Amino acid sequence: MSDLLFLPAHRAAALIRGKRLSPVEYLDAVLAAVEGQQPRLNCFVTVMAEEARAAAKAAEAAVMAGGPLGPLHGIPIGVKDLLDVKGAPTRMGSRIFDAAAPAKADAVPVARLRAAGAILFGKTTTPEYGVKGLTDGPAFGITRNPWNLDRTAGGSSGGSAAAVAAGLGPIALGTDGAGSIRGPAACCGLVGLKPTLGAIPLEGAKDGFGNNSYSGPMTRSVTDAALMYGVLRGPADADPLARDPWSAGAGPDAPLSPGLIGGDLGGLRIGYMMRCANPRVAAEVEAGTRAALAAYADLGAELEEVTDEIDWIEFEGRVLYQANFTVLLAAQLPRWQNAMDPVTLEFMRRGEGFSLAQFREAQFARTRLFRQIQALLERYDVLMMPTMSRTALPAVFDAANEEVVVDGVPCGITRQGWTSPQYPFNLTGHPALTLPSGFGADGLPFGLQIVGRWRAEADVLRLAAILEQARPWAQHRPPGLG
């Protein structure tokens, strides 16, 4: 059972195509594991067992009929509960939607997964509107990290991360508005990809032109992330395309750089940094990052520490983020204020205090940051850094007010002291991937972030695969899960 639950999606799909694995039996194994682990982890808000079993039976019939099969045929997958899945309510992690009706249609990424043959079996937990870097809230309680139940799974795609790390489906779909794929993936020992802005349509954004949110894969292997990205990417069909201006204007992905085809990385220029806006990085995280960089150097890559003074616009980023929630949720306050997450309310209160001039200055700062990163990526082929400053925080943590402690030193709230390397690349639009780069003394994983040029997902994924091969981690599983 354990071997089946931790089978990579691409291998499971091959076994299904070869009639050596039944989609029905595979799904039943996953659903049984969900039933056993849900009380411990609390990573699903909805399990669509009946609908999923019907889809698995249809998938098995298609295999036996010998017709064409999609690349994810028969693969069970969970979807973060910010995205619509036809037939299931979308509750947005909020009590506001306790009585939400089932969605009438799939979101574009969900529809693409379904068309590729995936079996959609559950909606994974998210904090209210995906507002914070931990996954908990009044609507559903606390989602816990499979590596240590006293720690958070990260946020806001914490349910997807916890599920995949625990073998509750080999892959999951997350969203990333300020690091919400990469942070949970790093906390739980996964690969998480935030693609280039517009690469995967986001038809539901209120501000399509000012968008900084993305959807993307959360997996246990780089191959699975690449497989899933291949299914998800590309402009939407006519109607959704008209609703996402970034997708409408997206060009094709850049081809894989020739120098990355083999194992010789001679000539590859890696610019690395240990800190962004965060004042510290844990010594063990820095050591793991340097070990990962050394693996690239051993293959011929040229490493150079980035010493430029980068304005990471930490304050301006908060202006954009918190003012957005102030306006977005203002209409809900009269009825729902007493049922909302205190962190949501605090972010809204702070956002209300910003002026229009500060908001416009923050938008100008976003452009300045983009140009600074573009300039770096003219000197370097890729940027690398720790995904976050330390391992997962306690499961009970006040994300609005409590300070993150790194090696005994208070370092500010989560966006300042913990997840600082993530949000800047939501704002600039560059593809950013996290993959495991080590374990802390507390037994929890942490990650390396790889940032590429616009539309260079192929290079980012290839470099991740090279590190995965040089420093394998798939043999590690959370305690009690294999």
Strands 445-451 and 432-439: antiparallel
- d(CA 132, CA 167) in angstroms, rounded, equals 25
Name the region of 247 (left: φ>0; alpha: ψ -120 to 50; beta: rest): alpha
- Two tokens, residue 98: 């306790």
CA distance readout (Å), 25 to 19, 28, 79, 436 = 12, 5, 21, 30
Specify the 3-state DSSP secondary structure of 73: coil
Rg of the chain on CA atoms, in Å: 21
- d(CA 301, CA 50) in angstroms, rounded, equals 51
- d(CA 29, CA 68) in angstroms, rounded, equals 25
Find the catalytic residue in 22, 94, 156, 157: 156
**Does the active-site annotation cover 80?**
yes
- d(CA 130, CA 132) in angstroms, rounded, equals 6
Name the region of 319 (left: φ>0; alpha: ψ -120 to 50; beta: rest): alpha
Find the catalytic residue in 80, 123, 132, 194: 80
DSSP character string of 188-253: HT-EEEE--TTSS--TT-SSSTT---EEEEEESSHHHHHHHHHHH-SPPPHHHHTT-HHHHT--PP
Cβ-count burial 385-416 (b if 16+ within 10 Å, e if not) = bbbbbbbbbebebebbeeebebeeeebbbbbb
Measuring CA to CA, which residue among 231, 256, 234, 254 is closest to residue 9?
231
- d(CA 368, CA 375) in angstroms, rounded, equals 11
CA distance readout (Å), 135 to 66, 92, 190 = 42, 12, 16
Residue recorded with tokens 């962190």? 343
- Give residue 476's identity as a one-letter amino acid code: H
Find the catalytic residue in 22, 157, 160, 180: 180
- d(CA 388, CA 396) in angstroms, rounded, equals 18
DSSP 297: H
What's the sign of the alpha-carbon dihedral 83, 88, 94, 100?
Answer: positive
**Does the active-site annotation cover 180?**
yes
What residues are annotated to the active site? Answer: 80, 156, 180
